[in-house]
Chains A and B, each alone.
Chain A
Amino acid sequence: MDIGIVGYGAYVPHYRIAVEEIARVWGEDPAQIKEGLGVLEKSVPDKDEDTITIAVEAGKNALLRAGVDPKLVMALYIGSESHPYAVKPSGTVVGEALGLGPHLMVADLEFACKAGTAAIQCCYGLVKGGVIPYGMAIGADTSQGRPGDALEYTASAGGAAFLIGKDPLALLEHTLSYTTDTSDFWRREGADYPSHGARFTGKPAYFSHVTSATQLLLERTGYKPGDFAHAVFHMPNGKFPVNAALGMGFARQQIEQGLVVRRIGNTYSGSSLLGLTNVLDIALPGDRILLTSYGSGAGADAFVFQVTDHVLDRRDRAPLTEEYMARKEYIDYGKYARLRGKLKV
Chain B
Amino acid sequence: MESAPLYWRLKRQKYNLIGTRCVTCGESFFPPRSFCPTCRRRGRIEEFQFSGKGEITSYTIIKSAPKGFEQFAPYTVAIIKLDEGALISGQVVQGTPATIGGRVVPVFRKMYEEGKEGIIHYGIKWQVDGTAAEK
Which residues does chain B contribute within 8 Å of A53, judged by CB atoms?
A: 107-110, 122
Separation in Å of the B24 CB from the closest CB of chain A?
27
Contacts of A29 in B (CB 8 A): none
Q: Is B135 an interface residue (CB 8 A)?
A: yes
Is B132 a contact partner of A93 (Cβ separation < 8 A)? no
Tally of A interface residues using CB under 8 Å: 28
Contacts of B131 in A (CB 8 A): 319, 323, 327
Flag whether A64 is at the interface (Cβ < 8 A): yes
Q: Which residue of A lies closest to B124 (CB)?
A: A97
Q: How far is the CA of A97 from the CA of B107 in the complex (A)?
A: 11
- Interchain CA distance A93-B130 in the complex, whole Å: 26
Give the number of A-B contacts (CB < 8 Å). 61
For the residues of B in contact with A, the DSSP-based class is mixed
Of A44-52, A116-124, A164-172, A181-189, the one with at least 4 CB within 8 A of chain B: A44-52
Q: Nearest chain-A residue to B113 (Cβ)?
A: A84
Using a CB-CB cutoff of 8 Å, which residues 112-135 of chain B contact chain A?
Answer: 120, 122, 125, 130-133, 135
How many angstroms between the C-alpha atoms of A2 and B133 in the bound complex? 31
Give 7 pairs: A residue, B residue, CB < 8 Å, sorted on A. Answer: A14-B95, A47-B72, A48-B110, A53-B108, A57-B107, A84-B120, A327-B130
Q: Tell me which residues across on chain A come within 8 A of B111, comparing CB atoms.
A: 48
Q: Among B11, B130, B133, B135, which residue has its beta carbon within 8 angstroms of that of A96?
A: B11
Q: Is the CB of A319 within 8 A of B135?
A: yes
- Alpha-carbon distance A93/B110, docked complex (angstroms): 11
Asked if A329 lies at the interface with its beta carbon under 8 angstroms from chain B, I say: yes
Question: A85, B120: Cβ atoms under 8 Å?
Answer: yes
On whether the beta carbons of A14 and B122 are closer than 8 Å, the reply is no
CB distance A97 to B16 under 8 Å?
yes
- Are B108 and A56 within 8 A (Cβ)? yes
- Asked whether B12 lies within 8 Å of A96 as measured between CB atoms, the reply is yes
A99 located at the interface, meaning its Cβ lies under 8 Å from any Cβ of chain B in the complex: yes
Partner of B15, one of A85, A97, A319, A326: A97
When C-beta atoms are compared, the residue in chain A nearest to B11 turns out to be: A96
**Roughly how many angstroms separate A103 CA and B109 CA in the complex, as a whole number?**
24
Nearest 7 A/B pairs, CB to CB: A56-B108, A323-B132, A48-B109, A48-B110, A97-B15, A319-B132, A327-B132
B interface list, Cβ under 8 A from A: 11-12, 15-16, 71-72, 93-95, 107-111, 120, 122, 125, 130-133, 135
Residues of B within 8 A of A60 (CB): 108
Q: What CA separation (Å) do A316 and B132 show in the bound complex?
A: 12
Assess the A317–B135 pair: CB atoms within 8 A: yes
Residue of A nearest to B71 (CB): A47
- B16 near A318: Cβ-Cβ < 8 Å: no
**Complex contact B135–A48 (CB within 8 A):** no
Contacts of B16 in A (CB 8 A): 97, 99
Pairwise interchain contact A46-B132, C-beta atoms closer than 8 A = no
Q: Which residue of A has the minimal Cβ distance to B106?
A: A60
The reply to whether B95 and A48 form a contact with Cβ atoms under 8 Å apart is no
- How near does chain B come to A342, taking the closest CB pair, in angstroms? 13
Interface: A324 (CB within 8 A) = yes
| Shortest distance between the CB of B126 and any CB in chain A (Å) | 12
Cβ contact within 8 Å between A93 and B122: yes
How far, in Å, is A61 (CB) from chain B's closest CB? Answer: 9
Which residue of B has the minimal Cβ distance to A10? B132
Chain A neighbourhood of B95, CB < 8 A: 14, 327, 329
Q: CA A99 – CA B49 in complex, angstroms? A: 11
B116 to chain A, nearest CB (A): 10
Q: State the Cβ distance, B90 to closest chain A Cβ, in Å.
A: 12
B122 CB, min distance to chain A CBs, angstroms: 6
Report whether B110 and A318 are in contact in the complex, using a CB–CB cutoff of 8 Å: no
Closest Cβ–Cβ distance, residue B123 to chain A (whole Å): 9
Chain A residues closer than 8 Å to B71, beta-carbon distance: 47
CB nearest to B16 among chain A residues: A99
Max chain B Cβ within 10 angstroms of own Cβ: one of A48, A56, A316, A327: A48
